[in-house]
Structures are given as C-alpha cells and as structure tokens.
C-alpha cells in the first residue's frame, strides 16, 4: 500500500495510506451490487408488480426513455450522490473504510466529486474499467484519471493509529465545552489544526500559533477568551471532540 503525503496550507505534511488497487476494485464491486439490488427492486415493484411498462406502451420514444432515465437516475448518479452526501464515501468505500480526499489537505467539494463522476465515463464505462485500472496501477497515488483531474485521491482509513494521531482529544462525560461554534469546523479543518498545533508547540513557533488562532477565529467566529493561544487551541480541539462524539 503506497504512502500519500498531503501538505496542508500551513506547510504541515500528513501521511496517509493510499487505498490499494485491489481494495478500490472490491469497493467498486460492492457498489455494483448495491446498484444491481436497486435495479432488481425497482424492476420488481414498478415494472412487474405495478405493470408500469405496459402503461407506457402508448408513449413516444422520447417520453418512454425519459421515464426510464428518471427511474434509474439513482444508479446513473450513484457515486456522485453518495460521495457528496457521505463526504467522499460510497457504500462500498464506507464498508471497506476508504474515502476520497483532496491532495492539498482540504475537504473535497461537490465540484471535485462531479469531475470524478464525469471521468468515470472514460475510466470505467467506455473502456470496461481498463483505462482506470491502468491509471491506478501506474500512478504513485493509485489515482484514476478522474482523481488526477479533480486533484483527489482515495485513502484507506484502516491505519493503526491512536488518539494522539487523530483529530480527537480525550474528554470525559463531565467536560463542559467553551466554544459551541467549533461545530462550524469540518473533520479536515480539525485535523489540520491539530497537526499544525502539535508541530508549532514542539518547535515553540509562536508566530504560527498566532496565525492559527487568527484563522480559527475567522472561520468559527469565536474569540479567544483565555488570552493564551496554546490554551485556546487546545480548548478548541477538546470542544470539537466533545461535540462530534456526542452528536
């Protein structure tokens, strides 16, 4: 499994394991089974049980195929829908603990998922998956063409890590959060904050701590009431962990 290094905007390098070609293919197969199950259920309900197919016999071709496309649109837009809703995961990716991320350290956007979906036509549909497979095998980050174009990669979430390497901080049930607006942060934001904070504290880089505090205040709208940047950022991380673990 190849290593994927992501350098954030704060010049912090975070190492992930890129999902292997085998895992990505298995995820694709699982997603294919989900789509096949949908088709079977829809066919059984609408076309067999309700007899919709017979009722459409009088329609012109344009109307007939428009209805067919509408009914099967969840299959057509499957990856785009699920990756957008589940923040980079389809059902297959979630079962295998994989996720789509931006290689610049940010959370992938809808536009990125759309680009990946459009390039599936080349990577998978037109070539029966051959082009996508070749691209992943030859890419150092196991990227298919859609990933390269969107600037994304699929990572494995199965890394053996402890709480010190994650975005989570240890908080007990009696903990009282200070800054409720930390929920404006995403998981990716919190990870970047923690990685940057740990490096800055270790190097006693107070200038970076000030910049990090200013950025947190700008994004969340909270103000540092402690007067100490180190304590403030630690509280932000604990508050984020409290809210995300109890939501």
Mark which of 122, 140, 156 sits at the end of a domain: 156
- Is residue 118 located within the same domain as residue 216? no
Buried b (16+ CB within 10 A) or exposed e, 4-18: bebebebebebebbb
Query: For residue 113, what are the contacts with CB-CB under 8 A and spacing of at least 6?
Result: 79, 80, 83, 84, 88, 100, 150
Mark which of 156, 181, 208 sits at the end of a domain: 156
Helix (H, G, I), strand (E, B) or coil at 100: strand
Pairing type for strands 3-7 and 98-102 reads: unpaired
Asked whether the beta carbons of 167 and 194 are under 8 A apart, the reply is yes
Tell me the residue range of the domain where 169 lies: 163-245
Secondary structure (DSSP) of 101-169: EETTSSPP-HHHHHHHHHHHIIIIITTTTHHHHHHHHH-TT---HHHHHHTEEEEES-----GGGSS--
- Is residue 61 located within the same domain as residue 145? yes
- Is residue 133 located within the same domain as residue 186? no
- Is residue 145 located within the same domain as residue 177? no
Whole-model pTM: value is 0.61
- Is residue 22 located within the same domain as residue 110? yes
Q: List, for residues 125-173, the tens digit of each pLDDT value.
A: 888 889 999 999 998 889 999 999 999 999 887 754 433 445 556 666 6
- Is residue 187 located within the same domain as residue 140? no
Q: What is the mean pLDDT of the chain?
A: 83
Domain count, the chain: 2
**CA dihedral sign, ordered 31, 33, 37, 39:** positive
- Is residue 172 located within the same domain as residue 59? no
Distance (Å, rounded) from C-alpha 109 to C-alpha 228? 34
Mark which of 103, 135, 156 sits at the end of a domain: 156
- Is residue 7 located within the same domain as residue 57? yes
Q: List, for residues 175-222, the tens digit of each pLDDT value.
A: 888 888 888 888 788 888 888 888 888 888 888 999 999 999 988 888
- Is residue 136 located within the same domain as residue 168? no
**How wide is the angle at C-alpha 51 spanned by C-alphas 47 and 53, nearest 5°?**
60
- Is residue 118 located within the same domain as residue 180? no
Q: List, for residues 84-125, the tens digit of each pLDDT value.
A: 998 889 999 999 989 998 887 667 889 999 999 999 999 998
- Is residue 95 located within the same domain as residue 203? no
Name the nearest CA neighbour of 103 among 59, 131, 142: 142
| Residues forming beta bridges with residue 15, ordered by sequence position | 5
- Is residue 102 located within the same domain as residue 33? yes
């Amino acid at each position: 499994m190849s290593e994927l290094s992501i350098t954030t905007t704060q010049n912090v390098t975070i190492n992930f394991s890129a999902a292997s070609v085998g895992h990505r293919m298995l995820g694709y197969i699982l997603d294919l089974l989900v789509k096949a199950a949908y088709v079977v259920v829809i066919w059984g309900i609408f076309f067999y049980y309700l007899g919709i197919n017979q009722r459409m016999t009088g329609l012109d071709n344009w109307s007939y195929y428009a209805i067919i496309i509408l009914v099967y649109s969840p299959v057509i837009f499957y990856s785009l829908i699920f990756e957008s809703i589940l923040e980079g995961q389809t059902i297959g990716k979630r079962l295998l603990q994989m996720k789509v991320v931006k290689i610049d350290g940010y959370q992938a956007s809808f536009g990125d998922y759309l680009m990946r979906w459009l390039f599936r036509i080349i990577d998978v549909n037109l070539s029966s998956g051959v082009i996508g497979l070749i691209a992943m095998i030859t890419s150092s980050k196991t990227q298919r063409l859609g990933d390269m174009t969107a600037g994304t990669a699929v990572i494995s979430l199965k890394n053996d890590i402890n709480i010190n390497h994650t975005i989570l901080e240890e908080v007990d049930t009696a903990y009282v959060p200070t800054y409720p607006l930390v929920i404006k942060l995403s998981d990716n934001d919190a990870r970047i904050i923690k990685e940057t904070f740990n490096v800055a504290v270790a190097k006693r880089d107070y200038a970076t701590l000030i910049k990090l505090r200013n950025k947190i205040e700008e994004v969340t709208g909270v103000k540092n009431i402690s007067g100490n940047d180190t304590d403030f950022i630690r509280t932000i991380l604990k508050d984020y962990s409290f809210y995300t673990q109890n939501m």
